[in-house]
Structure 1
């Protein structure tokens, strides 16, 4: 695993651990708060309902108490009728029982009227009517709350827990009261709990979003740092490549000087000595040699070989570092290169190379002149060896923002028709040289119309050169 990836993981893992711990803590605390809130809401709800039911019972008592003073059957009937009409909602009603548990009035379940429910048992085995009577006797006229199970009319008779409030009317021996079913309270509490759960989940989502944002920020910073490091590495690599190229050019120049000033002079001296020996032998060969023998032919061949060696040595020295490039500049070096690029052998005039310039000429830094010369050298070499062209042109174009070298021929295509993506070492070397200076190399290759090679280099306010690169 790479060091940068390890550092990135070390930065992200604590965030993930903190996220997990925070989320778990928030969920735990949220659930505890939700349960506490539910308990508080339930107690407050039941307390308010008890107060409400007590208010209803006192209101009913105040309505029927004047009738209880008359103590006649008509007053009882009128009191039952008033209680039957006092309801609040589908499951809010009053009921009346006597002390023996006989139902005297029930507006939602009229079939119970007249039945003795004193010993009636619910599903849990409890006797609700007996419980109501006991609580009513304890509460008296002020009443008292009680919980019990009873069928819910709006639910089709399904048994549900009910919170009742009952009171006793001692004058007639009645127990009357009302109540609410607690499943409605449970629904309300469930809504409160759902709201609390939604709030907890929203907080968790916010925490996850913040953690994801932090992870993205850390990752982005790591990527930015990585990109910055890559850019610095690329810049250093380009600088190193420039130093290598400059060193190569310096070595070429040194070898060229040594070949020209050392070996070339020695070969010239040898040639002069051979020529002197040839002249001397020509004057005295009658004396020194037997009749029919002559040294003219071997010496002539030796002189020819020395002449060829000198020409090859000059060519190698010029290719290593053309003196014209340093003395007269790039245009002169290109014209000299065009004059020497024709194939050697049977048809020296097989390729005609035309050199031209356009735009306002400006002095080029050593790095630019050397790079364009090497591109022209490699391009013409490929044309001579592979393109089978009869004409080629070198165009040096100056522009305010750069300089461009265009190489065009009428042959079969660059490197025998190879495309740019399939180019050999020569094309890659040209591209690397040009891109080192921030330029670009483009090849338009068409076998029917030859090849067009463009090398463009930018000219900044302060153009880079190899010497400044090395000194840096």
Structure 2
């Protein structure tokens, strides 16, 4: 996987994870709030119904109070009270019921077939004793009881909330109730609405996640295209510099060969030809031709030295054989000999651990810097230091020349090519190049990390 793709993935992945975490947190909080809302609605509804049922039972009790409080306990009085209670209702499913304390049904306006039956052992579908629980609550002072009972309007068993009280002097349990299936339906609608809101919120979060991922992806794509264009432009510029450097190196080699070696070889050829002619004309006196051959031999030595110099400039053998320190020492001594500029070389620590490419970069930096000093600095002394540290190696070159405008040269389109090449060489091996210059001289520091 490419670096850009990794960066893009690292940008999108945390975004998706964060949005998923937010979605889970929102969903959890929404569910929690839904349960709390449902419980609050249900509690408020039941409280209101409890008050309502208590009011109904109180009304029913007052409707027979003149009989109950009369002190009479005969069958006629009780039948009159039952008759009054049977006529009381509120809606299709709102009625009152009576039981004695043994579970016998005394009145049921909606299910007359139950009147007179012993329902003490009646149990609902869950096995709970219905009448026993109602009577027990009435004996405890009255109150609410949840149970299952057939709903008159639908003829189906439904949850019911009953409210019962005792009429102790007659041994009766009086009660009424409301069916809770309507409440459950209302709560189910609330649940449905909440779930729809939660789904809508999740869809919004998913949409935001997709849109955000697309924005990041498109931004990454645009960045990639931009970077590819910049990289392509840099490669073209670099290729042009490489070609230009190659042409400059070829031109320098051509000048060295033409101005130095070629002329010397022509001179040697002429000296040899002159010596041969002298030998032919004065065979008895070879010493006359010896001078020509001696001059030719001397010039051959000069040619060999020039060949070694050119070879050293292309790739110093000392760099491969004895290492960077020895190559720099030799380079500074040669610089002193050819320029008459006093050059001091100092080596401290160890330069071991640099790769062959890094050694070459250090040597080329020194070559380029000394060449610039020779051409432009007008310096009288140069200090070259190679310093080896635990994690890096530094090359320091300082002169006492006239200095130059670093920023101006770096930005000049036709000048500063050597400086740019130095920066690129050092950057290519993971190092850094620092260059400062003033009227007191120029200071170049190349730092490379150890392998």
Q: TM-score range by the shorter chain?
A: 0.3 to 0.5
- Higher RCO by CA contacts (8 Å cutoff, separation 6 or greater): 1
Q: Please report the TM-score for the alignment, with normalisation by the length of structure 2.
A: 0.47
Provide the TM-score with structure 1 as the length reference. Answer: 0.45
